[in-house]
Homo-oligomer: A and B are copies of this chain.
């Protein structure tokens, strides 16, 4: 952001005022008028407030690259409920993969009893290896929908191919874009065209700006709204599987005023740390959590080590339930 001063302005005084407002300021040398550059990653200040500072002549910035996202409300419809600032924390839970009608029915019953609002479960699974279990496909969609409906839960599930968007939309309330597909633009277009809310997972190395732009694709191509889902990014330290970026969650929630939820299961890959990070996510500004759970994690077809057992999920839900995202 460029702040141009009047010729007679006291540059040092303007700088002090900008710093006092939390801005990172650099002097530019050589311009026809005294000028200061404000890093876009420092605090946000309305243009009018900057123009009101004594000595400031004009304030210039690039146009936002994501006007539809900027205009999205902080609380949006999300399947059967609303999600975002002012609404109670939303809980999405279920197994990594939908394995059988019985499995998903048992889990749906259990999580509904805890007050969870949406059921998750993979029918089409993105797997790093072509030899790993790839999901039960359309059959699993039916099992998932039936189990959810029986317990008045909404359904969130992932779409992996543009060709499947219509099919998945006929079963699910919310369509999930996985982290590996955050910049799969053909998929974003096809899924957006279904007119359902989208749960947009952050890519493993996506910047917040790229993530917002992926959201802009969704809104531009017809999605009624987009909820952002942080699930851990790629870091240099193998001590935790991924790096849960709660700073980005706070930035989205408190500065960009976007609805955002956190998936601690994929971030950590191990269930023992999930309760602590779930609490932290809510404290940072997340409007909800997406949690993996399984009745028999040792026999799960995928991601068993990160699945919460029934009692662990129950304890966690009790802790965060009723929590209301601060306005």
* Chain A residues with a Cβ under 8 A of chain B: 2, 4, 16-20, 22-24, 26-33, 35, 37, 41-44, 47, 57-63, 65, 126-131, 160-164, 180-181, 183-187, 203-210, 213, 216-217, 220-221, 232-248, 250-251, 253-255, 267-273, 276-277, 279-285, 296-300, 304-306
Given A62-B37, A238-B238, A272-B254; A32-B4 close (CB under 8 Å): yes
Instruction: Check B236 against A41 for contact (C-beta < 8 Å).
Output: no
Instruction: Check A30 against B47 for contact (C-beta < 8 Å).
Output: yes
Q: Could you pull out 25 A-B pairs where Cβ atoms are within 8 angstroms?
A: A16-B299, A19-B297, A20-B297, A20-B299, A22-B271, A22-B272, A22-B297, A22-B306, A27-B63, A42-B270, A43-B270, A44-B272, A126-B183, A128-B210, A130-B185, A161-B186, A162-B186, A184-B187, A232-B247, A233-B236, A233-B237, A236-B236, A246-B246, A247-B267, A255-B272
**Residue from B41, B186, B236, B305 within 8 A of A207 (CB atoms):** B236
Instruction: Check A160 against B186 for contact (C-beta < 8 Å).
Output: yes
Given A17-B298, A65-B129, A220-B130; A244-B241 close (CB under 8 Å): no
> In the complex, which of the residues A59, A220, A285, A305 has the most CB atoms of chain B within 10 Å of its own CB atom?
A305
> CA A297 – CA B207 in complex, angstroms?
27
